[in-house]
Structure 1
Amino acid sequence: MEFSRINIIGAGPAGASLAFFLSSLGYSNITVYESSKILGSKPCGMAVPASIKDLIKLENEHIINEIKGYRLFIDGKLLHEDISGTHWGYIINKQKFLEDLVSDVEVKREHLKINLDELSKRKDDLYVIAAGIYWNGSPKERLNAVEATVNVYNWNEPSIIQIWFDTKLMGYYWAFPHSEKKVNIGVGGFEDFFSLKARLIKFIKKIGSVEKMEPEKILGSQIVSTGIVDSILFPAENVFAIGEGVGSVLPLTGEGIRPSIQMAKIFSENISSKELFIQNLKSSTLYKTSKIQRKILSILKQMPPFLRNKIMRSIPKDIMIKIGLGSYSENDVNKLKLILKTFQV
C-alpha cells in the first residue's frame, strides 16, 4: 500500500515510536496529531525493563534512574527479592523520551477528530489511531491506577524497586525511586479512583519517610486490561489502530510503554500489508504474552483472595520474574498450567 500521507493520531509511546520507526525507514510524509500540551502526560510509574533497548535507543537524558534490584511482597510479606545489583531496567523521563522520538517529524498540536466515515473517504491517506484510552473505540474493560511522585527524607535503596501485591484488591502498590530524595508511589487495581486514592494516602503514611503528602498531587488514569483485541485493529479500510487503544498493555502487570513500542515496531515493518502485519503480530512474543496474561488475570479474578495468595506463593521465582518481564517460554506456560491444575482451576 502506498499513501500520500501517514497521519498518526496521538504522540504517546505507540504513536511517537511509530513516527520514529517510520522516519528511520525513510518515510518523510508523516504527520503526528497530539492535542495535549505535554507529551506523556498520562500518569504512570515510568518503569521499563532493560530489554526496551532491544527495541529503541534510550539516551542518557531519557533515564531518571537505573533499576538494579527488586523486592516483591504479597499481602505484606516478602515473597522474592534480588538486590545483587543485576540490571533490571530504568525509570525514564517519558516526556523527554517522547519529545525526542517525534523531533524529526511534523507534529500538529491539535485535536484530529476520529470520525471513521470521514477518514475512510480520504483513501489516499493512511490514518493510525494511537490515542490510547482517549479513543472511543478502545476497550472499556479497564482497571484504575493512581500515583504520586513525592519527596522523601531518605530512600535508603534508590536503585531497588518495590512491589506489594494485594490479593483483596486484585492489584498492587509500587514504589519506583527516582533518587534518594524522590520516589514515585502508586496503586492500581479493580476499584474506583476514590477508593484507590484513599488506599494510596494510607500506604504513603505507612511508609513513613515522605516529607509531605499533598493529596491534590495524586494523579489517576485508567489502564486497558483486555490484552490485544484483534477485532479493532482495522476500524476502516485506510485506518489502523495500535497501542493501548487496542489493548497493547500486559494485563497482569499493567506495563504499557514497552508493549506499545513493540506493536509500533511490528506495524512499521509491515505497513505495506495488513496480512503481514497480522501475521507478524500474532507470531510475536508481545501477542502471545498478552493473551496468556489475559487468561491468567481472568482466572485470578474469579478466585477468593486466599486462593490467589496460595497460587502466587506456589509460582517459582524464575517464572514470577518472567511474568513480570513478559518474556516466558511455552515450557514456562506449561508449568503455570500445572500449578493452576493443582488448585483445581
Structure 2
Amino acid sequence: MVLKIAVMGMGVAGSYLIARLKNSEHEVVGYERMPEDRHDSICAWGTIKPVLQEFCKKVDRDFNDFLIHDGKNMHVKMNNDVKFDIGLHGLCTYDKLALIKDFIKDSKIIYGESPSLEELESQYDMIVDCTGFHRVYLPKLEEDFFLPTYEYKVEYENGLPYDDFYIEPFPGMSGYFWYFPLGEKWAHIGAGDYRKNHIKATDDFLKKHGGKVVKTKGRPIRLATPNKCKPFYKDKVVGVGESIGTVYALLGEGIIPSMQCVEIFLENMNDFEAYEKAVDEHYKVYGKVFNFVRAKIHKDFNFFKSLPDFLAIFRYMKKNEDRFGMDIKISDLMKVAKA
C-alpha cells in the first residue's frame, strides 16, 4: 500500500527517516518549522563513529565526510575535585547540521511552516512526529521530566583549553557541563542542569578560558523515557525519536537512540501496536537508568536500594561498550554514583 507520509521536524530522527524512505514506494514530504536559512542543529555534535558509519551506509553516505574530531580520552572532573580519564574508542564530534542537510537534500522539504494537525490529517495517510521535545502532534504527556540546556560554539584563536572531551558532572547527578572539541580552534561548551545552574557553569568556563562566542543555543532535553512517554501514536500520528523519549538519561545522549528508533519504526510502520512493543523492548533498560538518575536528582537515592538497577546499567553499558564508544568501568560509574 502506497502511503502519503508527512515527516514533521528535520532534526536527527526526521532527516534520517526521510533519507531511509527516499527510495521507498511511499510519497514522503518533510516539514521544518524554521526557514531554510535558519534551519539549525541544537545541542552538541557528539556521537559514536562506528555506529554512525553503519547508519550512513544504509543511505549511501560516508560518515567520514562529516567527522571533525576523533576522541582518545574524556577528561572528567567531579564536584569533589576527583579527576580521572576515560579511554575512548569511537566517541567523536561531527558536523551534525551538514549531515542532516545531506540526508534531506534530494527530498521534498517544506520550510517555515508548522501546519495544524487537522490540515495534515486531511492531506496525509500518516504523520510522523519527529518534533523532539515539543511533541507537537502527539498528546501532551501527563508527567514529563527534562533538563534545560545552554551551549556556546566558541572560537579559540590562541589554542584550545583542552585537547579532547571534558565533562564536569554536577552534584547529585543533576546534569553536567561539557566541552566538545570541533577541530583546531573551535569547541562546543555547554551544560544541562535540573537545578538550572547550567548557564552559570557555561559562563564561568568561558570567563576562565576565554574564547569568542560565535553561536548560542538553548533548549530543554527530555529525560523521560519511552515507558513514560505514552501514547506513542494516536489515529494517523506516530512519534519517533525524542518525541517518545529516546534519550539515554545518564549521558543526555539522543542521536544514536533516535536513529535506532527510526530503524524500529521502519520495521513496524504498518503496525503501530507492534512498533510500540518493539520500542518498549529495545529501550527497557532506559527506564532503569531514568529511575537511577531521578532518584539522585531528587535526593531520594539509596545506593543499596538502587544496587540492582546500578548493576543492570553497568552490565548493559559494558556489554555495549563499542556502542558507547568508551571504556566502561564499574569504578568510574561508582565515582559518579557517589558524587
Please tell me whether the aligned partners of residues 17 and 264 of structure 1 are also in contact (alpha carbons under 8 angstroms). yes
Please tell me whether the aligned partners of residues 39 and 95 of structure 1 are also in contact (alpha carbons under 8 angstroms). no
TM-fit CA distance, 1:322? 2.7
Hey, what does 2:267 align to over in structure 1?
Answer: 269
Distance 2:92 2:25 in 1: 30
Hey, what does 1:91 align to over in structure 2?
Answer: 93
Distance 1:326 1:292 in 2: 21
Q: Which ranges in structure 1 are unaligned for 5 or more consecutive residues? A: none
The aligned runs of 1:148-227 (5 Å cut-off) are 148-152=152-156, 153-155=158-160, 158=163, 160-167=164-171, 170-192=174-196, 195-206=197-208, 208=209, 210-212=210-212, 217-227=215-225
Please tell me whether the aligned partners of residues 52 and 63 of structure 2 are also in contact (alpha carbons under 8 angstroms). no
Relative distance call for 1:262 and 1:238 in structure 2 (3 A) is: same
Hey, what does 2:102 align to over in structure 1?
Answer: 100
Relative distance call for 1:40 and 1:245 in structure 2 (3 A) is: farther
Distance 1:15 1:282 in 2: 20
Please tell me whether the aligned partners of residues 32 and 107 of structure 1 are also in contact (alpha carbons under 8 angstroms). yes
Distance 2:315 2:195 in 1: 24
Relative distance call for 1:199 and 1:240 in structure 2 (3 A) is: same
What amino acid maps onto 2:276 in structure 1?
I
- Deviation track 1:123-147 (CA, whole Å, cap 9, x = no partner) reads x611111111233445543211111
Please tell me whether the aligned partners of residues 181 and 187 of structure 2 are also in contact (alpha carbons under 8 angstroms). yes
Relative distance call for 1:138 and 1:96 in structure 2 (3 A) is: farther
Relative distance call for 1:91 and 1:204 in structure 2 (3 A) is: same
What amino acid maps onto 1:17 in structure 2?
Y
Please tell me whether the aligned partners of residues 9 and 32 of structure 2 are also in contact (alpha carbons under 8 angstroms). yes
What amino acid maps onto 1:262 in structure 2?
Q
- Deviation track 1:275-314 (CA, whole Å, cap 9, x = no partner) reads 3312322222xx1232122111121122279x89xx99xx
Between the aligned residues of both structures, percent identity stands at 21
Please tell me whether the aligned partners of residues 269 and 275 of structure 2 are also in contact (alpha carbons under 8 angstroms). yes
TM-fit CA distance, 1:269? 1.8
The aligned runs of 1:232-251 (5 Å cut-off) are 232-234=231-233, 236-251=234-249
Please tell me whether the aligned partners of residues 3 and 126 of structure 1 are also in contact (alpha carbons under 8 angstroms). no
- Number of aligned residues: 312
Hey, what does 2:281 align to over in structure 1?
Answer: 283
Match of 1:56, SS?
helix
Match of 1:202, SS?
helix
TM-fit CA distance, 1:60? 2.6
Please tell me whether the aligned partners of residues 173 and 293 of structure 2 are also in contact (alpha carbons under 8 angstroms). no
Relative distance call for 1:138 and 1:21 in structure 2 (3 A) is: farther
Q: Structure 1-normalised TM-score?
A: 0.78
Q: Structure 2-normalised TM-score?
A: 0.79
What amino acid maps onto 2:299 in structure 1?
M
The aligned runs of 1:44-59 (5 Å cut-off) are 44-50=43-49, 51-57=51-57, 58-59=62-63
